[in-house]
Every structure is written in C-alpha cells, then in structure tokens.
Amino acid sequence: MKTKKPFRIIVWILIATSLCIAVFFLYDRGRPAPIPFKRELYDGVTYRRIVHLGSQPMIAHIIIIDTKVKDVSFLVTPPDSNGERPLNARTTSQFLEEFNVQLAINGDGFDPWWSNSPADYYPHVGDPVTPLGFSASGGDIYTEGIPDQVGVEPTLYINRKNDLSFNKQPDNVFQAISGDRMIVQQGKIVEELDNVDLDPRSAIGLNKNGRYVILVVVDGRQPFYSEGATFVQLAQLMIDQGANVAMALDGGGSSTLVMEGDNGEPVILNSPIDNYIPGRERPVANHLGIFINP
C-alpha cells in the first residue's frame, strides 16, 4: 500500500500538469507571440509589434503607411441603406474581404450596442447600426453624428488625392470617419486624458507633414498577455511612432487590425477580445480600409 501512494501522487501531478498545459494552449490559441517583431508588408508599409513585459504586460501592433507610395488609397465602409441605421454590422475581417482592401482597422463607436454575455449581445453580423460620429464614403455622407448622445466627435477627412486631415471639413467631403477623442495635438498628449483605465485601444495618427499614416491597436483584457493601455499610454505610443496628431477610435472588444494574407484571406494581426473571449472579433459599424497595389 505504501508504494501505491507515491505513484498516485505522481499520476495526479501529471494529470494536473497536463490540464494546465491544455488550458494554456486553449487560452493562447491563435494569438500573436509576445515577442517584438518588425516586417515590411508592402513597399512603404511597415508593421511592428511592441511588447512591454512586467507587472502590466502590453502588446501593441503598429502599421506605418507612406501615403506618397504609388497606389495607396483609403476607403471608409460604404452605407448599406439610406435608413436611420445605414450600416449592417460586420467584423473587420469581413470588411477587408468584402471590399478587397489590403489593410483594415475598426472605426467609430456605434449605436445600438450591448454585451451582456456571449449569448446576449448586439449587434450580430448583419444587424443595422449607426456610427456615433460624422461618416462618409466615396462622397456619400451617411451620418452626421449623434451629438445629443455623445457630443461632437473628432473626425478624420480624406480627399480624393488621399490627403488626410483632422477636424477641418473640406467643401467636398470624400471619405470621413470619426472617433472617440483626440489624444495627440501638435506632438503633445492632450490634457486631462484618462491615465487609469486599461483597455484594448485603437488609434490613427499623422506625422507632422501628413505624409505618414500611423495605425495602432493595443491588445487588452488578457491577463499575463496584454492588459491594455490608458489613453495617456496610447497617446505616448502614437508620439513614439512619430505622430503629431492622433485620434482614438472605438476600443474595447472592437479593437481589431487585419491584413490580407498571401492567399487573399484575412489575417488578424492582433488579439481581439469580444465578450472576454480571446480571438473573437466583434461585428462593428464602420472601418477604415487601405488599398495597396504593389
């Protein structure tokens, strides 16, 4: 009997170890490795993964686009209808595949929205939604914003020549997408930004002369992998990448960055988390896509 007890202990240790390993791989499946990485995706387009370890782990995904490279252009999600809710919700991967863009990032916040559990949420794919801010695609202005609910959101405008500017509406609007708040102005962090709440974040910025577009997505709500960033940390990330001006997009479970893979299928560059499920994409309202024809 005495010889069986140590054997049983060893068996239980092996079972417990196997379960821990299985849970780890289930939790970690499909997520980018938490190691720094840099790669040129296309001519003039660079992807970087920045990893901060320690008591507050953070993983950030950054794409820098040289707009002066030939055949770079932009697309905001076109409207699906002329009604009060002009867009049908789709994931960022679905947007990239449907409109054949090479890069895509989630866009503005939207209404209606709730997320009570994996079985009780809105929107599902195809459900009608309305962006919270000013939105336009291909010269078609399809939302003016919902100022009585969220105030006036900042907006990024893109003209037919692919010149980008924030908060200066041109006479002829071509593409426009709004966001949560400005986080960088004139190369400095906007005052009174939150520096407490850690969440997944998305942002878009421009360097001083507007030549380079900077996209950033920070993974979050994933203990021991990436807890997220505050708005101040997000702003500093943008400045570190050369942003002179930057706007936060919708964050949380919406934050997603996607590229077109070699076979034309969407490749998710970050680790989105919807309903606290790593790797699960949230259907959102609009997106910003980038066409790149190498």
Same-domain check for residues 4 and 71:
no
Same-domain check for residues 3 and 87:
no
- pLDDT for the residue numbered 292: 94
Averaged over 146-175, what is the pLDDT? 91
Same-domain check for residues 245 and 163:
yes
Q: List beta partners, residue 245.
A: 206
Same-domain check for residues 82 and 206:
yes
Same-domain check for residues 4 and 69:
no
Same-domain check for residues 172 and 146:
yes
Question: Which pLDDT band holds residue 14 (cuts at 50, 70, 90)?
Answer: low
Same-domain check for residues 195 and 273:
yes
Q: What is the pLDDT of residues 25-68, one digit of tens each?
A: 444 557 999 999 999 999 999 999 999 999 999 999 999 999 99
Averaged over 182-199, what is the pLDDT? 97
Q: What is the pLDDT of residues 244-263, one digit of tens each?
A: 999 999 999 999 999 999 99
Residue 107 neighbours by CB under 8 Å, 6+ apart: 76, 77, 131, 177, 178, 179, 249, 250, 284, 285, 286, 287, 288
Domain count, the chain: 2
Percentage, residues of the chain above pLDDT 90: 83
Joined together, the tokens standing for residue 260 give: 């077109």
Same-domain check for residues 112 and 218:
yes
Same-domain check for residues 61 and 189:
yes
Query: What's the CA gap between 101 and 116, in Å, rounded?
Result: 32
Same-domain check for residues 248 and 191:
yes
Joined together, the tokens standing for residue 104 give: 């895509």
Same-domain check for residues 57 and 15:
no
- pLDDT for the residue numbered 150: 73
Question: Which pLDDT band holds residue 23 (cuts at 50, 70, 90)?
Answer: very low
Domain of 202 in residue numbering reads as 36-292
Predicted confidence (pLDDT) at residue 12 exceeds the cutoff of 80: no
Mean pLDDT score of the chain: 92
Same-domain check for residues 26 and 51:
no
